[in-house]
Amino acid sequence: MGSPRSSTPTFADHAHPAHTHDTWDLMILDDGSVDFALDHRRHGAGRTSVLLLPPGVPQDGRTVTEAGFRMRNLYLGGSVLTPPT
């Protein structure tokens, strides 16, 4: 679980249902805007944002405009980052 995993999705019209990850999620928003909930609180992020979402915390996400958004995700296990105590 210590090895980083990555993905590079592009979403034109999409909504992620609420979910959790077992790892930290380092999200780099390259283009567009995203609206998301983290621990049931709404947030927004725009182009060139960098977010670090903690493991085990509910999150969702959806496009804000018709242009969608493009992001990169790097999933970091506990050996890379240790959750705060």
pLDDT computed for residue 19 by the predictor: 93
Report in angstroms the alpha-carbon separations of 2 from 5, 6, 79. 9, 13, 5
pLDDT computed for residue 59 by the predictor: 92
Rounded Cα distance, 67 and 76, in Å = 29
18 and 41 Cβ atoms separated by less than 8 Å: no
Write down the pTM of the prediction. Answer: 0.73
Buried b vs exposed e over 44-61: b needs ≥16 C-beta within 10 Å? ebeeebebebbbeeebeb
pLDDT computed for residue 84 by the predictor: 62
